[in-house]
Amino acid sequence: MKKAKKILSAVLAMCMMLALLPTIGARAAVTYDANAAVTYASQHWNDGVGLCADFVSACVIAGGLNISAKRNPTDLSAEVCRVSGLSLHDLALNSNGYATKSLDGNILGAGDIVMQHCYTHDADPHILLCAGYDSSYDYRNLENALIDRNYSNAYSASLASDEQNSVTLETDCADFTVSDGSTDTPTTVTNCEDVSAGNISIDSVVPYGENSTVSYRYTFSSSSSKILFKPTNQTNGQSCSVSVMFGDSTFIGVSDAVPQSIQFNTDGSAVVSEANSGAMTITTNGIGNSPWNSMTIALNGKQVSVTPSESQVSVVSDDALGNVTATASSDTSDNTLTMSGLTAKSIIISSGTDESGQPTIVAADASSTKLGSMPVKYTASFFTAGGNDIQSAKDIQYGATITAPTDPTRAGYIFGGWYSDEACTTLWDFSTNTVTADTVLYAKWTEDPDYYKTVTFSANGCDDQVIFVPAGTQFTADKLPGANDFNGVEIAWDADAVNALIANGVTDNVTITGMAVPKGSGEALVFADPTLTNGTLSFSLTNKTVADFGLTIIAAAYDASGRMLGTASLAPTAEANATQTLTVDFSGFGTLDHVKLFMFYDNQTCAPLCESVSAAGANS
């Protein structure tokens, strides 16, 4: 369990199919109350106030980090790094783009900030606050909030009203105007970054991409149901790409077009106007009640409108559509329908079934005449929960069985088959179970009781030191417990047993025994506060070792001439790192001048504990 007070680490998370993410590696010397930040997040994530960066700023400030609040995720991460002194590092993700406890638990924890890059948050990412991990499985998409799995959980101001009104526009067009649909005082952008404010106030301008493909992202707020985009100063025939994201949900993109204007609407529809008929590609995700997340349509036209609705997308052009491709995309599958030489000016693309009940993508004109169709194909994905990655099976026909992949492996576990549910209660039978939709299969694991072996180092009076290693590990001398592991004692390990272990490796649980001997006085035992009054000796003894020894202390009494008057035996019982007071009565030994103490172990003198204690109480 993490302590309430911790040092802040920020993690920049890639999702989807991206492989690397910059993260904060070294933890700086800044006190940060992670519990306070997470508590604030749990209480305020649904307040309906502020953008994601506003929300996370408030969370880390609640955790005691003295930062200036920022509205932009990139600015906020830079501010956190500046104040905390953190530097960038790599965080491991699995092939599906997920951060997991098994991969990232040593870096990512409750109260850490997460910057998430994905198809909707590429250059200027989404920012969240990690809420920790749950307790069952290894994989969890960072975009989700709180469920009972062993994935990394996150809080985000996902329902904030400003977030719902936020608009993100991305384009490679250097000069354009943008407005909320009204023609008066549009906002003008020139040379990508020079903004002349109109009826839209742009909050941030961020470049992204590389070399000749550099584009810019513009964020602003608008309560309008439409955004009107018009390129300016475009060279004749020069194409551009532009997309708009309303909040975190509706996305419309237009590419490879030479537009005079594009109207983007919050319902996912768009109208593209060009000076001349030409090729263009339009993507929308505003499809309701559909097995697809988005539809991408490539076609020819001059004035084209694309309107998504329940389970379908309609396309209307003022010219014959010509060659059309429509790609329906789910989380894991793309299905592309290609049609050539269409004379129709409108088309409706929807999901349907053929005569055999096979799901299809169907295209028809305004009179419901079928223009084309294709059977839907599916993807089967394999979640290995900490095992090696398994390639997904793609282009699976409806009702088909799939071939079992090679069994995954995971250190310390035994593979127990593929299951159709995360709890691994329903076994998938590859010979009889068929695919009727995009399918996820989950690997079941049980711990391998024979995988780990223990090497136990046991010395008299000392706590055992146990090392867990995989069976077959080659043992080396540097794995022997070091001197610092046994303060105040010296240990001679069984040389024959150690040599055999080094020669043969770890094939079974083994115990190496040793003899612990206390070091000299002052290292093993601390003698203090001696008094010798009226023939009674009193002193304190502290056992500074890690061992509970059966030591013997011999006290010898002497007169002024140095003649020994007698001895007494003391058996200290102080456990490791404990102190006790010992007394011995010499009153019947005659005229006592001083006492000498000697420490014995296993009948062997180890060292004088002190030279003498005089009757006046001085330790000489």
pLDDT digits (tens, 9 = 90+) for 525-543: 777 788 888 888 888 888 7
83 pLDDT band, cuts 50/70/90, is confident
Q: Check residue 510 and report its DSSP letter.
A: E
46 pLDDT band, cuts 50/70/90, is low
Helix (H) or strand (E) segment spanning residue 224: none
78 or 154: whose pLDDT is higher? 78
| pLDDT exceeds cutoff 60 at 256 | yes
So where are the chain's domains?
5-162, 164-370, 378-447, 452-518, 525-614
Q: Tell me which amino acid residue 327 is.
A: T
Determine the distance from the C-alpha atom of residue 137 to the mean position of all C-alpha atoms in its chain, rounded to a whole number: 13
Q: How many whole angstroms separate alpha carbon 607 and alpha carbon 517?
A: 12
For 534-593, strand residue ranges (E) read 536-543, 552-558, 564-570, 579-585
Query: What is the rounded average pLDDT of the residues 130-154?
Result: 39
Q: Report the pLDDT value the prediction gives residue 620, as an integer from 0 to 100.
A: 34
Q: Check residue 616 and report its DSSP letter.
A: T
- Enter the pTM of the model: 0.57
- Cα angle for residues 194, 200, 202 (degrees, 5° grid): 45
Task: Characterise 341 by phi-psi region: left (phi > 0), alpha (psi -120 to 50), beta (else).
Answer: left
Q: Report the pLDDT value the prediction gives residue 610, as an integer from 0 to 100.
A: 61
Half-sphere exposure of 100 (CA within 13 A, CB side): 18
Q: Report the pLDDT value the prediction gives residue 319, as an integer from 0 to 100.
A: 86
- Candidate ranges 63-72, 362-371, 451-460, 597-606; pick with highest mean pLDDT: 362-371
| pLDDT exceeds cutoff 80 at 228 | yes
Phi, psi torsion values for 118, nearest 5 degrees: -155, -165
Helix (H/G/I), strand (E/B), else coil: 456: strand
Torsion of Cα atoms, 514 then 520 then 526 then 528, to 10°: 150
Q: Report the pLDDT value the prediction gives residue 436, as an integer from 0 to 100.
A: 92
404 and 417 Cβ atoms separated by less than 8 Å:
no
Q: Specify the range with the lowest mean pLDDT, choosing from 148-162, 332-346, 358-372, 490-504.
A: 148-162
Query: What is the rounded average pLDDT of the residues 29-47?
Result: 75
Q: Report the pLDDT value the prediction gives residue 414, as an integer from 0 to 100.
A: 94
Same fold, 378-447 and 525-614: yes
Q: How many whole angstroms separate alpha carbon 518 and alpha carbon 526?
A: 12
Q: Report the pLDDT value the prediction gives residue 361, as an integer from 0 to 100.
A: 92
Query: What is the rounded average pLDDT of the residues 41-54?
Result: 70
Dihedral of alpha carbons 330, 321, 369, 313, sign: positive
Residue with tokens 């599958």: 333
Determine the distance from the C-alpha atom of residue 177 to the mean position of all C-alpha atoms in its chain, rounded to a whole number: 40
| pLDDT exceeds cutoff 70 at 136 | no
Q: Report the pLDDT value the prediction gives residue 149, as an integer from 0 to 100.
A: 28
- pLDDT per residue as tens digits for the range 465-513: 888 888 888 888 877 776 556 666 777 788 888 888 888 888 899 998 8
558 or 244: whose pLDDT is higher? 244
Find all residues with CB under 8 Å of 236, minimum gap 6, and list them: none
Q: How many whole angstroms separate alpha carbon 91 and alpha carbon 13?
A: 7
Query: What is the rounded average pLDDT of the residues 42-64?
Result: 76
Q: Which CATH number fits domain 378-447: 2.60.40.4270, 3.50.50.60, 1.10.3720.10, 1.10.10.10?
A: 2.60.40.4270
Helix (H/G/I), strand (E/B), else coil: 426: coil
| pLDDT exceeds cutoff 50 at 111 | yes
User: Which of 286, 53, 248, 60 is CA-nearest to residue 167?
Assistant: 248
Query: What is the rounded average pLDDT of the residues 251-276?
Result: 89
Q: Report the pLDDT value the prediction gives residue 236, as an integer from 0 to 100.
A: 65
Q: Specify the range with the lowest mean pLDDT, choosing from 184-198, 547-561, 573-587.
A: 547-561
Q: How many whole angstroms separate alpha carbon 168 and alpha carbon 84?
A: 30
448 or 99: whose pLDDT is higher? 448
Q: How many whole angstroms separate alpha carbon 487 and alpha carbon 464?
A: 14
Domain 525-614 part of CATH 2.60.40.10: yes
Q: What is the mean pLDDT of the chain?
A: 77
Q: How many CB atoms lie within 10 A of CB 295?
A: 24
590 pLDDT band, cuts 50/70/90, is confident
